[in-house]
Copies of this chain bind each other. A is one copy, B any other.
């Protein structure tokens, strides 16, 4: 009976997962949107846009860490990342920070293209999709 109860609870959790849960919702966007065990995040940029690409990438990924934690996920559960750099001259330096940040064996799918962002001083932005832990 215990096994059966556990099994039913697991299914019930799955069914409830289909509801949408939002966190940090403002007029323009939510920073976190959960649905069906998948978490969608709003585009993240650096904390201090006066800094160079290395520092911008570092502080952007710090913000990603904070959001992942808040969403019930973590670096090891990122499914897909789309990275935008202002210019491809920043590609290698961004990658150096990124490669060190990714836990070995847990790298997500990734695409990176060059595109200008909301403010001219922004050099890098990331948009990720992650899985909820124990979803």
A15 within 8 A of B: yes
Residues of B within 8 A of A25 (CB): 105-107
Q: Given A20-B77, A36-B36, A131-B18, decide whether A30 and B112 contact each other with a Cβ distance below 8 A.
A: no
Interface centre among A36, A109, A114, A127 (most CB of B within 10 A): A109
> What are the residues of chain B within 8 A of A11 when measuring CB–CB?
11, 15
Whether B91 pairs with A26 at a CB distance below 8 angstroms is no
Bound form: Cα–Cα A10–B8 in Å:
13
- Closest Cβ–Cβ distance, residue A95 to chain B (whole Å): 7
The answer to the question of A59 belonging to the interface, with a C-beta cut-off of 8 Å to chain B, is no
Q: Is the CB of B43 within 8 A of A112?
A: yes
Is the C-beta of A70 less than 8 angstroms from some C-beta in chain B?
no
B79 pairs with A27, CB closer than 8 A: no
Q: Across the interface, do B38 and A36 meet the contact criterion of CB distance under 8 Å?
A: yes
* B residues less than 8 Å from A28 (CB atoms): 95, 98-99, 102, 107, 110
How far is A14 from B25 in the complex, measured between Cα atoms in Å?
A: 28
